[in-house]
């Protein structure tokens, strides 16, 4: 087993080295190709910048020149130290953004094995997206020339999901999420204006600078030849168009009319819609998340106002971030409250029954029992180092481990007695009426979460209702509880003998009372028979006496 893990680590390390070499080779080729295809340098309108233009191989390279204010325009020698040092600098983004160094969560714990991280990344969609974004499409300039459209480098946009991920993580960590969302919205608007301005400048260059009042003025004019002036003019023009302010020159060509019409449609359909509905969208998103996720802003505001210690505040923020980034729902009943009872039971069973099947006592239970159980389960998420229960506490619920790892620890919180993982359950001892339990309904152990743990909580009342309908599961839980109590020395093994002796004594007393009752009933029957016989004799004697008074009667017996 150790050998297999060692081989996986070696394969992961080798894969990392090969991938790094490929990336560096691609970068060197693309950077070198842009230099090899050029033979002359012309000055860009902005002082201090040179661009390459294609020329004949026989034309010599010009010597460095000086700008209008004496500033030296410079280029990089591909065989010099400056270019080599720049390549070293370009290695830094590859190193700090190296995807193989990003751990991932497995059962609530961070996996730091390079081999496992590498293979998981290679098997993901992000790997192929990153590979496509690193394709050396710049080599097309060798064939198409520098005058080709810049769309040959559009594959670099495949890295945009990394930017979205960074924005999402920043939104969960910032103390002012509303201000951050507003800043993100403003940034999107500025980016749209920037791209629209770039299209305007490119269209002006295609039509011709200064041919009419609509396009950008002629760049031969020193006032309009500076780079900053070109950008600000294009940005200002796009701002007027996209905000529908107007006050722009009248277009005179078909291309200009189409560009203006497209800009107005974009402003009406996109910018106006975004600006008009952003408030309602944010509110609706907050309502949707509040159905099953805790709200970040009230919790952070409460912690800030109450001046909670930074360490505890950080734990709360990590818990909130874990719920959001991993989509952990803790209010499932609120999310499904509008469904019918039958549909709600089916959805809950489809989501949670596979997890309950991993629990040993539920593995062979009928589905009706599991469907009845999932409706009463409440999801709980615990952060690393948090105690789920402590020894001596009054137990009012039991827990099922859905994901993660927990440890049964001593009072010091370090010594581990056992590990609990997926499919285990605990807490049933304190809520089950187990005969001989010396601790009563108190917790018998300290259980601590090692990583991020997802648990199901079942209250004592709900468990009693379910077990009343399924006695076989109750017997299994009680048997497991007696086994644990016996191992911990908290089970009185003589309680059954004492109960048996007490039962026999009660039975003996009951039998003795029954015998005495039978004797009393027999005596009572005899007394009743004697009473009836005496009453009959007395009645006959009275009749004879009454007959003797009325006439002669039969002679009396001596």
How does 311-327 read in b/e, with b if 16+ C-beta sit within 10 Å?
eebebbbebbebbbeee
> Tokens for 493?
């093994």
Instruction: State pLDDT tens for residues 149-158.
Output: 667 778 888 8
Residues 6+ apart with CB under 8 A from 363: 357
Q: Which residue has the higher pLDDT, 515 or 339?
A: 515
Alpha-carbon torsion (56, 60, 61, 66), positive or negative? negative
Q: Which residue has the higher pLDDT, 550 or 523?
A: 523
Cα of 50 vs its chain's centroid, Å: 50
Report the range out of 103-117, 286-300, 356-370, 508-522 with the highest average pLDDT.
508-522
Please report, in angstroms and rounded to a whole number, the separation of the first and last CA atoms in the chain: 120
Average predicted confidence (pLDDT) for the chain: 74
Res. 235: pLDDT tops 90: yes
Domain range summary for the chain, segments of one domain joined by +: 1-159, 296-325, 355-495
The 3-state DSSP class for residue 470 equals: coil
Query: How many C-beta neighbours within 10 Å does residue 187 have?
Result: 11
Q: Which of 186, 180, 182 is nearest to 168 (CA)?
A: 180
Residues 6+ apart with CB under 8 A from 163: none
Helix axes 114-122, 125-133, angle to 10 degrees: 80
What is the predicted pLDDT for the residue at 73?
A: 45
Query: pLDDT-based confidence at 246, cuts 50/70/90?
Result: confident
Residues 6+ apart with CB under 8 A from 164: none
What is the predicted pLDDT for the residue at 286?
A: 57
Query: pLDDT-based confidence at 551, cuts 50/70/90?
Result: low
Instruction: State pLDDT tens for residues 392-425.
Output: 888 888 888 888 899 999 988 888 888 998 888 8
The 3-state DSSP class for residue 82 equals: helix
Phi then psi dihedrals of residue 50, to 5 deg: -120, 145
Instruction: State pLDDT tens for residues 121-174.
Output: 888 888 888 888 888 888 887 787 766 666 777 888 887 887 888 788 787 777
Report the range out of 245-259, 284-298, 342-356, 469-483 with the highest average pLDDT.
245-259
Distance CA 505, CA 292 (A): 58
Instruction: State pLDDT tens for residues 57-101.
Output: 444 444 444 444 444 445 666 667 776 677 777 766 655 555 566
Q: Which residue has the higher pLDDT, 482 or 262?
A: 262
Average pLDDT rounded to a whole number, residues 253-281:
78
Average pLDDT rounded to a whole number, residues 22-27:
44
Distance CA 551, CA 176 (A): 127
Q: 73 near 50, Cβ under 8 Å?
A: yes
Instruction: State pLDDT tens for residues 276-328.
Output: 656 655 665 556 555 566 667 777 788 888 888 888 888 887 777 777 776 66
355-495, what's its fold?
Jelly Rolls (2.60.120)
Q: Which residue has the higher pLDDT, 111 or 63?
A: 111
Distance CA 37, CA 59 (A): 13
**DSSP percent split of the chain into helix, strand, coil, nearest 5:** 60, 10, 30
Task: Tell me how many degrees the CA angle 54-26-33 measures, rounded to the nearest 5.
Answer: 10
**Is residue 491 classed exposed, middle or buried when 0-12, 13-18 and 19+ CB atoms within 10 A define those classes?**
buried
- Look at 17-31, 235-249, 335-349, 474-488 and tell me which has the smallest mean pLDDT: 17-31
Average pLDDT rounded to a whole number, residues 12-30:
44
Query: pLDDT-based confidence at 367, cuts 50/70/90?
Result: confident
Residues 6+ apart with CB under 8 A from 477: 361, 428, 432, 467
Res. 45: pLDDT tops 50: no
The 3-state DSSP class for residue 314 equals: helix
Average pLDDT rounded to a whole number, residues 444-455:
88
Distance CA 67, CA 64 (A): 10
What is the predicted pLDDT for the residue at 98?
A: 59
- Residue that the structure tokens 């009572």 belong to: 524
What is the predicted pLDDT for the residue at 281?
A: 55
C-alpha to C-alpha distances, 373 to 337, 377, 398, 508, nearest whole angstrom? 17, 7, 13, 44
Phi then psi dihedrals of residue 40, to 5 deg: -145, 165
Query: pLDDT-based confidence at 232, cuts 50/70/90?
Result: very high
What is the predicted pLDDT for the residue at 14?
A: 44
What's the pTM?
Answer: 0.46
Res. 189: pLDDT tops 80: yes
Q: 407 near 434, Cβ under 8 Å?
A: no
Q: 391 near 383, Cβ under 8 Å?
A: no
Average pLDDT rounded to a whole number, residues 168-194:
80
Residues 6+ apart with CB under 8 A from 121: 99, 100, 102, 127
Distance CA 524, CA 515 (A): 14
Q: 512 near 503, Cβ under 8 Å?
A: no
Range 230-233 contact pairs with CB under 8 angstroms and sequence separation of 24 or more: 230/45, 230/201, 231/197
Average pLDDT rounded to a whole number, residues 522-528:
89
Q: 171 near 181, Cβ under 8 Å?
A: yes
């Amino acid at each position: 087993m150790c050998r297999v893990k060692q081989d996986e680590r070696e394969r992961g390390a080798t894969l990392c080295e090969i991938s790094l070499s490929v990336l560096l080779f691609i970068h060197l080729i693309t950077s070198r190709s842009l230099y090899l295809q050029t033979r002359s340098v012309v000055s860009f309108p902005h002082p201090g910048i040179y661009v390459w233009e294609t020329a004949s191989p026989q034309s010599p390279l010009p010597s460095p020149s000086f700008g209008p204010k004496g500033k030296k325009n410079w280029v990089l020698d591909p065989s010099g130290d400056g270019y080599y040092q720049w390549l070293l600098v370009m290695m830094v983004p590859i190193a700090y953004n190296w995807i193989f160094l990003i751990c991932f969560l497995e059962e609530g714990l961070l996996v730091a094995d390079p081999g496992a991280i590498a293979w998981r990344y290679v098997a993901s969609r992000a790997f192929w997206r990153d590979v496509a974004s690193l394709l050396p499409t710049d080599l097309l300039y060798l064939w198409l020339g520098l005058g080709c459209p810049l769309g040959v480098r559009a594959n670099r946009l495949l890295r945009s999901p990394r930017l979205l991920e960074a924005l999402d993580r920043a939104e969960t960590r910032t103390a002012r999420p509303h201000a951050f969302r507003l800043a993100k919205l403003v940034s999107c608007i500025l980016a749209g204006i920037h791209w629209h301005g770039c299209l305007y400048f490119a269209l002006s260059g295609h039509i011709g600078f200064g041919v009419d009042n609509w396009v950008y003025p002629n760049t031969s004019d020193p006032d309009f030849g500076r780079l900053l002036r070109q950008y600000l003019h294009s940005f200002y023009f796009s701002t007027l168009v996209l905000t529908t302010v107007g006050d722009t020159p009248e277009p005179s060509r078909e291309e200009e009319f189409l560009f203006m019409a497209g800009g107005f449609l974009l402003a009406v359909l996109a910018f106006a819609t975004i600006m008009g509905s952003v408030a309602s969208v944010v509110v609706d998103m907050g309502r949707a998340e509040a159905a099953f996720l805790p709200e970040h802003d009230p919790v952070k505001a409460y912690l800030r106002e109450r001046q909670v210690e930074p360490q505890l505040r950080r734990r709360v923020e990590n818990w909130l971030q874990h719920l959001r980034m991993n989509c952990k729902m803790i209010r499932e009943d609120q999310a499904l409250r509008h469904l019918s009872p039958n549909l709600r039971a089916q959805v809950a069973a489809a989501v949670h029954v596979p997890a309950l099947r991993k629990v040993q006592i539920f593995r062979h239970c009928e589905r009706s029992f599991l469907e009845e159980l999932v409706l009463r389960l409440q999801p709980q998420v615990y952060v690393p180092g948090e105690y789920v229960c402590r020894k001596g506490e009054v137990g009012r619920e039991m827990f099922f481990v859905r994901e993660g790892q927990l440890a049964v620890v001593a009072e010091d919180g370090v010594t581990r007695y056992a590990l609990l993982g997926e499919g285990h359950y605990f807490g049933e001892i304190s809520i089950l009426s187990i005969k001989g339990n010396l601790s009563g309904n108190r917790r018998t152990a300290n259980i601590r979460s090692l990583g991020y743990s997802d648990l199901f909580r079942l209250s004592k009342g709900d468990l009693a209702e379910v077990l009343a309908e399924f006695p076989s599961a109750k017997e299994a839980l009680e048997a497991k509880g007696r086994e644990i109590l016996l191992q911990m020395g908290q089970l009185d093994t003589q309680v059954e003998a004492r109960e048996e002796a007490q039962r026999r004594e009660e039975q003996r007393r009951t039998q003795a009372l029954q015998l005495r009752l039978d004797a009393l009933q027999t005596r009572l029957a005899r007394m009743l028979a004697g009473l009836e016989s005496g009453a009959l004799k007395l009645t006959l004697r009275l009749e004879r006496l009454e007959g003797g008074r009325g006439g002669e009667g039969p002679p009396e017996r001596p």
